[in-house]
Amino acid sequence: MPAEFARHERTVICWPARTEIYGQRLAEAQTAHAALANTISGYEPVTMIVNPRDESAARRVCAENVDVVALEIDDAWFRDSGPNYVIENGELIATCWQFNGWGEKFVPFDKDATIALRWAAHAGHKTRKIDMVLEGGSLNVDGAGTLITTEQCLLNPNRNPKLSRDQIAEKLCRELGQRQVVWLPFGLALDDDTDGHVDNVASFIGPKTV
């Protein structure tokens, strides 16, 4: 699995959609996401995934070079619900993990539970479906075989209650091409939404460098 700091093909963003989260600031959140996409599009390709009902509104505020794609979603957290990409024998593969709305905190999540596979199919990427709950923000890799995560999240009984720590580590290493897993006990204090995602507290900036 390439590190976040490695060169990549494009950035994929999802359009904010959950009114119970954003409330009266939903339009403001959508404008902010469009501004982010427009800025990034000056440097690399960008895709904005939107619900079909929001496609026209998104196209009005996204730059012409932002690729707006209509696919059903529950909300904007594609870092967590989207695929984690690996390269095996020179081939790009979208590993598509189970998604349960951060331990069923945010419902419904059925659309986000399938968006990784649907996006990969739209993009023409080879996929591998994996029978374990995992969000992209719950891990980070250094591109040289080391993965960092938190016990607070991955060992939480609302994710994979039937899997042990060793079983989770083995699956992460096998599916994402890692040699070792570094376990932090906790993520950010008071991070009740994600149960301590590591992306809130630590990130690799190079091989073996956090």
Q: pLDDT tens digit string along 151-174? A: 999 999 999 999 999 999 999 999
Rounded distance between C-alpha atoms, residue 20 and residue 10, angstroms: 30
In a domain, 44, yes or no: yes
Token reading at 9:
């093909």
Look at the chain and count its residues.
210
**What domain range is 24 assigned to?**
1-76
The pLDDT value recorded for residue 17 is 97
In a domain, 46, yes or no: yes
In 43-196, DSSP assigns E strands to: 46-50, 66-70, 84-88, 91-98, 126-133, 139-141, 146-150, 180-184
The pLDDT value recorded for residue 2 is 98
Residues with Cβ within 8 Å of residue 99, at least 6 apart in sequence:
80, 81, 109, 112, 113, 116, 133, 135
b (16+ CB within 10 A) / e for 130-163: bebbbbbbbbbbbeeebbbbbebbbbbeebbeeb
Domain count, the chain: 1
In a domain, 169, yes or no: no
Q: Residues 181, 146, 183, CA angle at the centre, nearest 5°? A: 30
In a domain, 22, yes or no: yes
pTM of the entire structure?
0.95
In a domain, 111, yes or no: no
Residues with Cβ within 8 Å of residue 185, at least 6 apart in sequence:
150, 151, 152
Span 190-205, pLDDT tens digits? 999 999 999 999 999 9
The pLDDT value recorded for residue 126 is 99
The pLDDT value recorded for residue 97 is 99
Token reading at 191:
């991070």
pLDDT one digit per residue (tens) for the chain, 210 residues: 999 999 999 999 999 999 999 999 999 999 999 999 999 999 999 999 999 999 999 999 999 999 999 999 999 999 999 999 999 999 999 999 999 999 999 999 999 999 999 999 999 999 999 999 999 999 999 999 999 999 999 999 999 999 999 999 999 999 999 999 999 999 999 999 999 999 999 999 999 999
In a domain, 104, yes or no: no
